[in-house]
Amino acid sequence: MKKIVVLTGAGISAESGIKTFRDSDGLWEEYRIEDVATFDAWLKNRNLVLDFYNQRRKQLLECSPNAAHYALAALEKKYDVQIITQNIDDLHEKAGSTKILHLHGELKKARSTVDDNLIYDIEGWELKKGERCEKGSQLRPHVVWFGEAVPNIVPASQLSSKADIYLVIGTSLNVYPAAGLLNYVPANVPKYLIDPNGVAVAGTRNLTIIKEKAGKGVTELVEKLLND
């Protein structure tokens, strides 16, 4: 079975009603990264950080996968599909994809602040001040903040180097190290980038750019790949 590796970003979930970060109505227009998505913010203003992710989680509970998520799940009929997502939502899981690597964490999980291995499911939408891990530390959102290490970048780069076909969907490729994953994909491998707006990827060989929203662009590409 051929291996398809798919790198997804916020754009794939846009049609499910989740805001992207850097579009004109994106989250980083409304919030300052340094106020809600850094460890420093967590130390200085825990309530604001908890509230920011609680609101995201509350909203996620009302969202469903869209045609693009479902099309990627359907691609497993013919290919070994590995998804690498920068998204912290669970829409790939809900659509039925089976191999998903989250680079930036998972919104529906909480993590100990003294032991990174202690990870818990969050019931409902709210993670509260005073909720502790079994070692007694306050639980934090299980997400990667700016300035923090991205532990899953190592398996993600290995997976990218093994792809037979590579898809990039709905990411501005602004945030490293995720944005550098394309560099691990061998030059001869066919690559497809789906995004309604242009994304700068100078120097990438064998790249087809599909300027469509994910719902249409991914569905059509998956149809083609299933018929190949």
According to the binding rule CB under 6 A, does residue 219 interact with ligand OAD? no
Minimum CB separation of residue 111 from ligand OAD in Å reads: 14
Contact present, 211 and 168 (Cβ < 8 Å): no
Q: Cβ closer to ligand OAD: 28 or 78? A: 28
By beta-carbon proximity to ligand OAD, the closer residue of 2 and 55 is 55
| β-strand partners of 38 | 146
The answer to the question of residue 141 lying near ligand OAD (CB under 6 A) is no
**Ordered DSSP codes for 158-194:** HHHHT-SEEEEES----STTGGGGGGGS-TTS-EEEE
Q: Which residue among 175, 181, 193, 221 contacts ligand OAD (CB under 6 A)?
A: 175
Out of 76, 99, 196, 209, which residue is the one contacting ligand OAD (CB under 6 A)?
196
142: annotated active-site residue: no
Which residue numbers are catalytic? 104
List contacts with ligand OAD (CB under 6 A): 9-12, 14-15, 20-23, 26, 37, 86, 104, 144, 146, 170-172, 174-175, 195-197, 199, 213-214
